[in-house]
Amino acid sequence: MEIGDMFKIDTEDLGVSSAERRTLLNPGNASAIVLCAIIRKNFNISAVREPLRGQYARANITSKK
């Protein structure tokens, strides 16, 4: 998967903002409350193994919103 595709999934499908991304890249600069809020927001999203990607992966990501 290309970086551009991962960025699109991250921002459009998962709804991660640039501020949240910066926080996750530098967690030492964030408070526990902020980190917990980001984790809680994305807690129900699960990774999809390579053989299961395709329509199932899109349905899985969509159903977790």
State pLDDT tens for residues 39-58. 877 776 555 556 666 665 55
pLDDT for residue 55: 65
pLDDT for residue 32: 87
Residue 15, CB half-sphere, CA atoms under 13 Å: how many? 10
Amino acid 18 reads S
**Annotated domain spans of the chain:** 6-63
Using one digit for the tens of pLDDT, what is the confidence trace for 4-39? 888 888 788 778 888 898 898 888 988 988 888 888
pLDDT for residue 58: 59
pLDDT for residue 36: 82
* pTM given for the model: 0.50
Q: Report d(CA 24, CA 36) in Å as an integer.
A: 11
